[in-house]
Chain A
Amino acid sequence: MASRTLKRYTQGIRPIILLSVVLLASLVLMSEAIQNSEQFSLLYSWLLVFNVFALLVLLALIAINLFRLVRQYRLQAPGSRLTARLVVIFVSLAMLPVMIVFYFSLNFLNRGIDSWFDVHTETALADALELTRATLNDRKRDASRRSERIVKVLSGISDRRLPLKINGIRHNNDAFELTVLGSNGRIIASTSQAVETIFPDLPSDIVLAQVRTGEPYIGIDSIEQKGLFIRVVVAMANPESIADVRILQALYEVEAQTSELVSDVQLAYDEYRKRSYLRKPLKIIFTFTLSLVLLLSLLTAVLAAFLLAQRLVAPIRVLAIGTRAVASGNYSKHLPLASNDELGFLVKSFNDMTQKIALTQDEVQRSQIHAERQRIYLETVLGRLSSGVLTFDTEHTLRMANSAANQILGVDLVERLGESLTMLGKDFPHLTQLVESILPHLHKVDEAWREEVTIFGPAGRQALMCRGSALPAIGEDVVDSGFVVVFDDMTSQIQSQRDAAWGEVARRLAHEIKNPLTPIRLSAERLRHKYLATMDAGDAEVLDRSTRTIVEQVESMQEMVTVFSEYAKPPKLMIQPIDINNLVNSVLELYSGYKIEVKAELAPGLPFINADAGRLRQVLHNLIKNAMQSMGGNDEGIVVVTTRLRNELDRGAVEICVVDDGAGISDEIIEQVFEPGVTTKGRGSGLGLAIVKKIIEEHGGVIYAKNRPEGGASFVIHLPVENKKVPKRG
């Protein structure tokens, strides 16, 4: 509060007004002092010092303001150019009239002072003085004559009788005062017209000394409170001693009127001579004072110009700063309200505008936050969906893809947002079928569609069930309109249905075939037993071969039925924690005597998995036998079983690979290799790998087959790990 008050009184226009008033007062006093005003004359030098100091202060203030303005001008500060322009205009407006007034004032001053003096006046005054002096000289001569008469009279009177006679003598000679002194200056007798006079007005030592030398003194003296007198001091004889002299002083009064006139003439002459002498200094000091006044006025005007320009430009500068702030996005800028004029109204309007913009901005931000939350929520929901979701705008540009879509299609579509659907088809050939299926529907705005699409992706053949519809436009914003495509990977579902169908087929087949097989075999054996011995050698041989074939084929069919029934059998797993490496080793020991080498490459420290050890052994036997059979009698082949931990997979898994260097799997059947009935072997049931897959899936794992680049096939099993901790080995 105090600092604000101080600021109000030290800045702005108030100090300039105060300074101007003080300077004006000072200049008035100086003017009075120059005109010989006794009161202010003593102050003149101080006033001069003050004004010169004020001049320096003003110069310093102007220099500071000028420096500040130049710096702001160079920095292109808001309002600096306008301030500079206003300062130049104000200074020009102030300078021109002041300089004109100064020029004419100087001329008038010099002429005015010169007009005070002229030869005639000086001569007249000198003549008047001379006349006065002549008049007084006449009076002095008259006084001298009268004094000579008095001396004659007094010369015959002794010191003792002088006091008695002197008053009469004074009266007779019309003297104001008579005093007779001894040679030593002692008063012998004295008389005065003024009765109140006790002591006579004595001559000075110098006058006495002069008179003692014999030279009389006649002069005009002004005696205080009495007026102008003619003083005559002469030496006269002492009748009582020839060697000694007496001194007479006679004072003759100059008439009051004459005295007054004499004083006036002397005063006028004295004053005129003094003024005449001071004429040149007077001109100098008047010129100096006028110049000082001019300079002070001009500098005050310049300073006022600076301050006024700054004051005028201040709201504009503030507005410019505010505009810049708004342009840079700062809507909270509140400009100070400097005045109530039009500029103040402008500032107020600006503040209202920024306030409204700020409120709108806040609202927009809140909406953005809300929209962002909605978007995150939608993304979360879409991310949790098992169905793939794609959205396209009206230009068929991909706008959104959820994680399920990425997973199903095996492409990071988030990185491809903004690309057209056609471009996606070109960049990813396995999506061509999908693109070709979707694209026609994106031209139909009014109807929802549904279509099953098969693609061949990195994970193999995938059956996708696609559904789509057009998105309605929100308001008039065409950008928000477009299409949505939702698809599900139906591959596993179809596979499960197929597996279930195959299981049912196998179960019915086993049931239907198994029943007649035993009577067939028994009938064949009975025929053999009853008729073989009775037949001749030729027929016996035919019967023997036929019945044997029947029995062998029935046995083969029984084996097949067993396998079928095995495939169709519902799982009865004996789940327990097992060490997969031990399991692999125990299986491989059975193949130690084989010509084909079967070796293990096992990663140490694998975690236990929950599984049925017997079923897993069956899996391994099937895969190893399958691998051996794929070598087609090549005894130098090698089968390798590897294990390792795959932490990078979802939930973690133990990987078991059975790798051979055989002929590999043909491309035609590699996709259906795990389906029942698919086999490359002449006498295979086609259920071996189907059972393997069934067992692995019963354990919650996955299996797939791939050909190795260096030749041979590789069957890869992933079994989930429930507890990743490595158990302590006993």
Chain B
Amino acid sequence: MKIYKKNLNFLWFFISVIFVGVAEAKSFFIEHAETGLIGDTYYLDATVNYQLSDQAQEALLKGVELTFELKIEVIRKKGLLWLFNKKVSQSVQRYTLKYQPLTQQYKVLHINSGKSRNLPSLSTATWILGIVADLPLLKQEEVNPKAQYVVRLKALFDIESLPVPIRLLAYFAPGWYMSSDWYVWPLEP
């Protein structure tokens, strides 16, 4: 299903670029990311700066739940050409952000773990959303000490999770194409 979804996103993006000239907005930035070996497990710490577009903020305040994805991949380098590289591990961390009008708070939910937090402001909510701490990445035994590995990270907004009525328009609106560049660094203990 994930593969289909990825293909579909690419398809819509392609159609949008061709017909509407929509360009992917670089609204998210990965400020810092590093790995550390604790025990026999590599852990990831990262800070992502999420800057929501006006359209996204308006939709959030109007009750639309926003979904974000953090894609993490560990790649074993096998040569100069990327073609020979091999993905050792990949995972997607999914988060939702929702405004609660009664309490006037923002609820951040980490879908993978089910943990949520209510935060008093949007800036606090996006700050908390961007903090990744001690996320298990892969076991040490999966890593060949003689080989070279890189970790790459990308944050993006999931249009497919928007309500159907707005989804079609979102495909053709640049404000909804929010993502970061791939942030790449060597896997270090």
Contact = CB atoms under 8 A, between A and B. Distances in A.
B102 A42 contact: no
B164 A274 contact: no
Contacts of A271: 63
Interface in A108-153: 129, 132-133, 136
Contact of A273 (B1, B63, B105, B160): B63
Contact of A277 (B12, B62, B100, B168): B62
B167 A219 contact: no
B168 to A, nearest CB: 5
B139 to A, nearest CB: 29
Contacts of B63: 270-271, 273-274, 277
Interface in B48-80: 58-59, 62-64
A278 interface: yes
A278 B165 contact: yes
A281 B173 CA distance: 12
B84 interface: no
A285 B164 contact: yes
Q: Which of B59, B103, B128, B165 has the most CB of A within 10 A?
A: B165
Tell me if A's interface is mostly helix, strand, loop or mixed: helix
B95 to A, nearest CB: 16
A484 to B, nearest CB: 95
A265 interface: yes
A306 interface: no
A33 B163 CA distance: 9
A46 B164 contact: no
B103 A269 contact: no
Given A41-B164, A284-B168, A273 B101 contact: yes
Interface stretch (B25-33, B116-124, B143-151, B180-188): B116-124
Contacts of B167: 44-45
Nearest to A265: B102
Nearest to A220: B103
Contacts of A36: 163-164
B81 interface: no
B135 interface: no
A277 B59 contact: yes
A44 B164 contact: yes
A33 B105 CA distance: 30
Given A204-B117, A273-B63, A266 B100 contact: yes
Interface string B94-124: 0000001111010000000000011110001
A689 interface: no
Contact of A278 (B12, B105, B163): B163
Contacts of A537: none
A28 to B, nearest CB: 14
Contacts of B160: 42, 45
Contacts, number: 78
A82 interface: no
Given A274-B64, A281-B165, A282-B165, A221 B102 contact: no
B8 interface: yes
A250 interface: no
Contacts of A44: 164, 167
Interface residues of A, number: 36
B82 interface: no
Interface in B128-174: 128, 160, 163-169
Interface string A255-269: 000000010011001
A375 B102 CA distance: 117
A278 B59 CA distance: 9
Contacts of A136: 102
A33 B102 contact: no
B118 A34 contact: no
A278 B166 contact: yes
Contacts of A285: 164-165, 168-169
B169 A284 contact: yes
Contacts of B105: 219
Nearest to B171: A45
A288 interface: yes
B38 interface: no
A266 B101 contact: yes
Contact of B11 (A49, A129, A274): A49
Nearest to A270: B63
Given A266-B100, A269-B102, A281-B166, 13 more contacts: A46-B8, A48-B168, A129-B102, A132-B102, A206-B124, A222-B118, A270-B63, A273-B63, A273-B101, A281-B168, A284-B168, A285-B168, A288-B168
24 contacts: A36-B164, A41-B164, A45-B8, A45-B12, A129-B101, A129-B102, A132-B102, A136-B102, A269-B102, A270-B101, A274-B62, A274-B64, A276-B62, A277-B63, A277-B64, A278-B165, A281-B166, A281-B168, A281-B169, A284-B168, A284-B169, A285-B164, A285-B168, A285-B169
The 8 A-B pairs with the shortest beta carbon distances in the complex, nearest first, are A274-B63, A277-B62, A266-B102, A281-B165, A282-B165, A273-B63, A270-B63, A281-B166
Interface of A: 33-34, 36, 41-42, 44-46, 48-49, 129, 132-133, 136, 204, 206, 219-222, 262, 265-266, 269-271, 273-274, 276-278, 281-282, 284-285, 288
